[in-house]
Amino acid sequence: MIDFEFEPQVVERLKMYHMVAENIMRPISREYDEREHEEPEQFFQTMWQAQSLADVAPGGDLKKEQGGSVKPSGPKLRNLLTCTTTEELCWGDAGLFLSTPNSGLGGAAVMAAGTPEQKTRFLKRFSEGEPKWGAMAITEAACGSDSAAIQTTAVRDGDHWVLNGTKIFCTGGQRAVEKSDGFVVVWATVDKSAGRAGIKSFVVERGTPGMKVARVENKLGIRASDTAMIIFDNCRVPADHLLGSAEVRKEGGFKDAMATFDATRPIVAAMAIGVGRAALDFVRDFLREQNVPIRYGISPRRLTAIERDFMDMEVQLKAARLLTWRAAWMLDTGKRNNLEASMAKAKAGLVVTQITQKAVEILGPIGYSRKLLVEKWMRDAKINDIFEGTQQINMLIVARRVLGYGNKELN
């Protein structure tokens, strides 16, 4: 049995992040949605300080209780705690959350595919000093969901790799390229004839000649976060910036790089849950103000349409949260979570779009208006069904794992 009851110190930490979400993020949520490409510098500094305080807050260790239950407290359940923190902050604002100074998807890629020495070298400096940004560059115009079709190349030239290609929809890409000590993890092929096995990841640090931002997208949602197109034109990186081994082998390479998503998909699912919870909480408060009760424990036949809708929203959100926590917990305890990470991502992405749309519907015209943040949450929600693998791709992964098929049998 897995017990997700939190230790007191973890509860206090989550309360702190909820206060940040409510008192710092919510008040500027609309402002930076409308001012998409402006920098919330004060927010950056505040969040960096908040993260520093959280990092030194008292923690604990993974504790085994009688009967085998597990108490999530301390750094050994880092991924689970990251998911719970992510939910709180995205309850505040998902776009601002993605703008929070950290190593981001780039850091997740280093943790998944890098050697122990590379993890220390590339990530150690992100625990101290000034705010830092990391990003991952994987998507290309000719290969959206099919990451194995990457055309960006990496050619060995002495003590360097030379990267050439264009990446699109890089979350946090502009800040990672332009801010001090930022870095981008780029996926490229070192051997096109090897197919998937030839895909490798490279760390390209800020200021590297040949890397530049070509444009920043105007988006439907998460507008406080920048989304960039990055061009790599004869971009030379040291040979030891290739994450993991340079050897092209069938059982490695692309599989090592894809392990990044086992860690990041639960986090994206937690983002979705935070946005969905924001909408659900708002609807609950709205109905209470209108003296519309939600009557639990009575026959379903006696429920009103609004009560049924609201209860379904609650149930779906809780189901997505438990899937997410399970995927994160499995990663923390050394269990393979490829199936569970995709299940959590697929479920949460679908649920958050349904919940936010239903919230707008229940509130009526005022929900559709810009007077409230509900319409913004509906716009922010959709990205969770797209990035880090679309709904369709994650459902395909789930089907393959459940049925025991490979990509040749089921695609």
Whether residues 49 and 24 share a domain: the answer is: yes
Q: How would residue 76 be classed by pLDDT, with cut points 50, 70 and 90?
A: confident
Whether residues 310 and 339 share a domain: the answer is: yes
Output the CA angle 11-13-16, nearest 5 degrees: 110
74 pLDDT more than 60: no
Which are the contacts of 321, defined by CB distance < 8 A and separation ≥ 6? 87, 273
Residue numbers of the domain that contains 32 = 8-103
Residue position matching structure tokens 């959280």: 54
- Phi and psi at 189, nearest 5°, equal -100, 135
Which are the contacts of 332, defined by CB distance < 8 A and separation ≥ 6? 62, 76, 77, 78, 79, 80
Q: What is the pLDDT of residues 178-207, one digit of tens each?
A: 987 899 999 999 998 888 889 999 999 999
What global pTM score does this model have?
0.91
User: What is the average per-residue pLDDT within 39-59?
Assistant: 71
What DSSP line would sit under 221-263, residue for residue? S-TTS-EEEEEEEEEEEEGGGBSS-----TTSTHHHHHHHHHH
β-partners of residue 185 are 136, 203
Instruction: From 214, 241, 268, give the residue that closes a domain.
Output: 241
CB 227 within 8 A of CB 215: no
Q: What is the CATH number of the domain that holds 77?
A: 1.10.540.10
**pLDDT-wise least confident of 104-108, 120-124, 278-282:** 120-124
253 pLDDT more than 70: no
Whether residues 275 and 386 share a domain: the answer is: yes
The pLDDT value recorded for residue 243 is: 92
Whether residues 48 and 167 share a domain: the answer is: no
Measured CA to CA, the distance from residue 84 to residue 308 in angstroms comes to 27
Number of folded domains that form the chain: 3
Q: What is the pLDDT of residues 260-307, one digit of tens each?
A: 889 999 999 999 999 999 999 999 999 999 999 999 999 999 999 999
Residue position matching structure tokens 């920048």: 226
Whether residues 133 and 148 share a domain: the answer is: yes
Q: Which sequence positions are flagged as catalytic?
A: 388
Comparing 2 with 141, which gets the higher pLDDT? 141
Whether residues 363 and 274 share a domain: the answer is: yes
Whether residues 289 and 390 share a domain: the answer is: yes
Q: What is the CATH number of the domain that holds 351?
A: 1.20.140.10
Q: Does residue 3 belong to any structural domain of this protein?
A: no
Q: Does residue 249 belong to any structural domain of this protein?
A: no
Whether residues 63 and 111 share a domain: the answer is: no
Residue among 265, 114, 271, 270 at smallest CA distance from 185? 114
